[in-house]
Amino acid sequence: MKKIAIVIAILISIPHAALASGETIGSLSHIHQVKVQGKKILLGTHEGLYQYIGADKVLRMSPEVFDVMGLSVDGRRIYASGHPGPGSKFPEPVGLVLSTNGGKDWKMVSLQGTVDFHLLESSGSELYGADSQSGDLLYSSDLGKRWASRGKNTFSDIALNPAGKGDALALSQGKLFGTKDSFKTSSAIPLKIQLTQIEWNSKRLVASSGANLLISSDMGRTWKKQYSFKNPIGILAHSNELLVAVVGSQVWKSSNEGRTFALAE
């Protein structure tokens, strides 16, 4: 997926210092996902779940060693999926697991031994997951306990409306689609621009288009440029407190909805 390729490029460009310490980003072989919990920047990596402190420091959040291919954060809930690592108690593939204490402990929720989510998004009781095994998009309305298939996944990113169940937006080849029935049906939202990432917090919609950060207050029908970087935005991640943009080899953060950014160091 595009997200994975971009973040791997970050690893290549950062010096591999102190490889044995496990405390620098250079010690991680692959970063698959970047998410935000409160003011913490989380990394889903081949070696497990980490917190990003800066280019020269990361902190292991979970004693469970597993390949975190899918990662989603909703308040205290951290959902993950992937493959077990050495000594892990998880099955292969992991299915959906949940932590409510910052990754210290994990509960097996569902789909153990059958599903490996690479795209995973959540809000409230709703989750969407793109299964790398079947290629299907799966939907759950009960915190991941039961799932329904929505057919083959064609979306690169999904953003759930935190204020409306069944209401979501998704991107497919840069085009924006919306649903009111959890993607039983969807319709295109005509735009003159192409979007690469989309996020939906309790305040507004945020998206990227090339090097531009965009915001929308009308359910994605119109967009306004909020900020411009010198290079294309690779990944967007958010909480209500923090917005993070990965640009090239740099991780930028904003605490004012993207009006200004500073390097995450």
What is the CATH number for 67? 2.130.10.10
pLDDT in tens, 35-92: 999 999 999 999 999 999 998 899 999 999 999 999 999 999 999 999 999 999 999 9
21 within domain boundaries: yes
Number of domains in the chain: 1
Q: What is the pTM of this model?
A: 0.90
CB 246 within 8 A of CB 215: no
Using the predicted structure, report yes or no on whether residue 4 has a pLDDT greater than 60. Answer: no
225 within domain boundaries: no
228 within domain boundaries: no
In sequence order, what are the beta bridge partners of 263?
Answer: 252
d(CA 248, CA 12): 11
Q: Which of 12-21, 149-158, 180-189, 225-234 has the lowest mean pLDDT?
A: 12-21
188 within domain boundaries: yes
Burial 107-123, CB ≥16 within 10 A → b, else e: eebbbeeebbbbbbbbb
pLDDT in tens, 212-229: 999 999 999 999 999 999
